[in-house]
Structure 1
Amino acid sequence: MREFFNLVYNEAEKVYRKKRIAVVILILTVLIPIFVYAQFKQIETTIKRLGTDDWRVALQQQIVDTQNRLNSSRLPEEWRQWLKVKVEQQQYYLEHDINPTAPGAPTFVRGFIEQGITLFIPLLVMIIAIDIVSGERSDGTIKVLLTRPIRRWKILLSKYVTMLLFVSLILLIVGILCYVISGIIFGYKGWGMPILTGFMIENDNLNTSFVHLIPQWKYITMAYGLAWFVAVVVGTISFMISVLIRNTPAGMGVMLAALIAGGILSNFSTAWEGAKYIFSVNLTLTDYLSGQLPALKGLSMGFSLLNLTVWAVASLCIAFFVFTKQDMTS
C-alpha cells in the first residue's frame, strides 16, 4: 500500500510540475470576473429598462416576453415546448412569491455550475486528464517508469487516482473562486434562500406535484455532486484517449470534438433515437434538478446516470486493457 501511495504522490508531483493546475486557475481568474460583470450589467440594464428593482416586475416581464415568442408561427416545435415549460415554471415561482435569481454569491455559484456542467467544467478537466499518459509517451519518460518492478495495472491505477484527485481539486477551486469573486459585487449572503426543486416533465407538460422547497446550500450541494460525477466521467474518457492516442494535442482535439458534438446533436438530432446514447448529450444533469425540458426525448436522470456510468466503466476497461497489453514505449 505504501508503494501505491508513493506512485500516486509521484504522479501528482508530475502534474503539478507541468503547471496544469496553474493554467486552470489562470483561466478561472480571468473568466469569472468577466461572467460576474456580465451578470451585473444584465441586472443593471433590466432595472433601468423596467424602472424598478422589484424582481416580481422583472419576472412578469420575462413571462410576457416568452409568451410573445410562443405566439410566433416560425418557432420550431422543440423550442415551443421548452419555452412553454419555462413559462409554467416562472409562473409557479411568481405565484409562490419566490425569487429564483436573487443576487448573491451562492446564486452565482449555482448558476455557474448549472451552465458550466456541459462544456466549461469538462474542458478544465480535460486539461489535466488528456495529458496524464500521452504526455509521458511523447516525452519518453514512460519507458523509465515501465522498467521498474511494478505491475502495469498498478502504474495506470496510480495515474487514474491522481486524475480523480485533481478533478476534485478543480471543482473545489471553481467553487471557491466563484464565491469569493462574485461576492465582491453581489454580497456573500443567500445560502439559506429557498429554492424550488422537484419539477417533472411528463408528456412535454410541467408536473408540479412533487415540487418542494429546499435551502440553496442543499441545492448547490446536489448540483455540485452531479457536476463532480460529470467531471469524473469526462476525465475517465479523456484518460482512455490519453492511453490510446500518443499525441496530446490530437487527443485534445478528439475530446473537444466529442464534447461540442453533444450540444450540436441536442439541438439538431431530436428525431434520431440513437443520439441519446452519446455521453456528451447526457452531461446536463443539473437540468433534472431545476426541471428543464430534456435535450432529447427519452432522457431522464436515471437514464443519463446509467449512460454515463457505462461510458466511464467501458473507457476504464479499455484503458487498462490497452495499457497492460500493448507496447507503450514505442
Structure 2
Amino acid sequence: MFDFLQLVRNENMKIYRRIGTWIMLGIILLIVIVVSTLSKIFSEHDTMWTIMNGIEQFTYYLITIFTVVVSAECVAGEFSAGTIKLLLIRPWSRSKILLSKYIALLLFALTLSVVMLVSSYLLNLILFGYNDSATANEALAVLNNSHPLSYMIQVYVLDYIGLIMIVTFAFMLSTIFRSGGLAIGLSMFIYFFGLIASGLLFNLKYDWVEYLLFLHLDLKQYLQTSVIKHNIHELTMGFSLAVLAVYYIVFVGITWLIFNKRDVAT
C-alpha cells in the first residue's frame, strides 16, 4: 500500500513540477479576484452567492480545458518523451502505474475545483458580506429552500462528477495515442464538438439521442428542475447518472486493456 501511495505521490510531483500547472492555478485565482472586485465596484444588487455562482459557471469550462490538457498528456507524454520504458521496468504492475496516474489526475481536478470554491467564497465574503436570505435563494433559483452555501457545494460536487468523466475520457485517449499533442488536440476537439453536436441533436425525435454522453455532463441543471423536457425527451438525474456510469465503465475498460496490452518496445 505504501509503495502505491509513493507512486501516486510521484505522479503528483510530475504534475506540480510543471510551471504550466501553477499558471493554471494562477489564472483561476486571477479570474476570481478580477470578477469579484469588478462586481463589487459596478454592481449594487449582487450578493456573494450570485457572484460565486457566476464565477463557477465561467471558470468551470476553463478548469475542464486545463484538466483535458493535463489528462490527455499524462500517458501519451510518457511515450512521446520515451520515459514510459523507464517507468515500466520498475517493480510495479502496469495496472498500478495506470491507476496511480489516474488518481493523480482526479486529485488535480479536485484541487482546481477546491481552489476556485475556497478563494471565491472567502473573497466574496469579505467584499459583499454573508447573506443567507430568501433573496439569495431566489437569485440562484434554489429549490426546496436549501441554504445558498449548501446549493453552491452541490453545484461543485455535480460539476466535479462531470470533470471525472472528462478526465477519464481524455485519459483514455492519452493511452490510445502515443503523441501527447495529438491526444490533447483530439480530446479538445471531441469535447467542444460533442457539446455543440449533442445540443443540436437533442432537438431530434430519436430515442438514441438520450444516450449521448455530452447531454449528461451538466448535472447541476437538475438543481433547478427534476426533469429536463424537450420534444419527446425527458431526462432525470437518475437516468443521467446511469448513462454516465456506463460510459465510465467503457472508458476505464478500454484504457486498462490498451495500456496492459501495448508493446512499448517500438
Deviation for aligned residue 1:169 = 0.9
Deviation for aligned residue 1:26 = 2.5
| Structure-2 residue corresponding to 1:31 | 31
- State the one-letter code of the partner of 1:319: T
**2:159 is the alignment partner of 1:215:** no
Deviation by residue 1:31-57 (Cα, 9 ceiling, x = unmatched): 33454466567746xxxxxxxx6xxxx
The answer to whether the 8 A contact 2:52-2:120 is kept is yes
Q: What secondary structure sits across from 1:298 in the alignment?
A: strand
Structure number with larger C-alpha Rg = 1
**2:68 is the alignment partner of 1:135:** no
**2:47 is the alignment partner of 1:103:** yes
Alignment match of 1:228 (pick from 133, 155, 160): 160
Q: How many residues align?
A: 259
Are residues 172 and 264 of structure 1, via their aligned partners in 2, closer, same or farther at CA, if it must alter by over 3 Å? same
| Structure-1 residue corresponding to 2:251 | 315
Alignment match of 1:304 (pick from 231, 240, 255): 240
TM-score, normalised to structure 1, is 0.70
| Structure-1 residue corresponding to 2:204 | 271
| Structure-2 residue corresponding to 1:187 | 128
The answer to whether the 8 A contact 2:7-2:100 is kept is yes
The answer to whether the 8 A contact 1:134-1:247 is kept is yes
User: After the TM superposition, which residues 146-157 of structure 1 pair with which residues of structure 2 at under 5 Å, given as runs?
Assistant: 146-157=88-99
- State the one-letter code of the partner of 1:103: T
| Structure-1 residue corresponding to 2:177 | 245
The answer to whether the 8 A contact 1:126-1:234 is kept is yes
| Structure-1 residue corresponding to 2:108 | 166
- State the one-letter code of the partner of 1:239: F
Deviation for aligned residue 1:11 = 1.0
Once structures 1 and 2 are overlaid, which stretch shifts more, 287-296 or 226-235? Answer: 287-296
Q: What secondary structure sits across from 2:145 in the alignment?
A: strand
Deviation by residue 1:167-196 (Cα, 9 ceiling, x = unmatched): 211111111232344456x42412x33426
Q: What secondary structure sits across from 1:109 in the alignment?
A: helix
Q: Following the alignment from structure 1 to structure 2, what is the Cα–Cα distance between the partners of residues 241 and 313?
A: 15
| Runs of at least 5 residues in structure 1 that lack an aligned partner in the other structure | 45-52, 54-101, 200-210
The answer to whether the 8 A contact 1:122-1:234 is kept is yes
| Structure-2 residue corresponding to 1:203 | none
Deviation by residue 1:140-192 (Cα, 9 ceiling, x = unmatched): 111101111221111111111111211211111111232344456x42412x3
Q: What secondary structure sits across from 2:235 in the alignment?
A: coil
Deviation for aligned residue 1:261 = 2.1
Deviation for aligned residue 1:252 = 1.7
* Higher share in helix: 2
| Structure-2 residue corresponding to 1:96 | none
- State the one-letter code of the partner of 2:69: I
TM-score, normalised to structure 2, is 0.85
Q: Following the alignment from structure 1 to structure 2, what is the Cα–Cα distance between the partners of residues 260 and 181?
A: 31
| Structure-1 residue corresponding to 2:65 | 123
Deviation by residue 1:57-115 (Cα, 9 ceiling, x = unmatched): xxxxxxxxxxxxxxxxxxxxxxxxxxxxxxxxxxxxxxxxxxxxx411x3322333345
Q: Following the alignment from structure 1 to structure 2, what is the Cα–Cα distance between the partners of residues 294 and 260?
A: 22
The answer to whether the 8 A contact 2:68-2:184 is kept is yes
| Structure-2 residue corresponding to 1:7 | 7
Are residues 267 and 9 of structure 1, via their aligned partners in 2, closer, same or farther at CA, if it must alter by over 3 Å? closer
Superposition RMSD in Å: 2.8
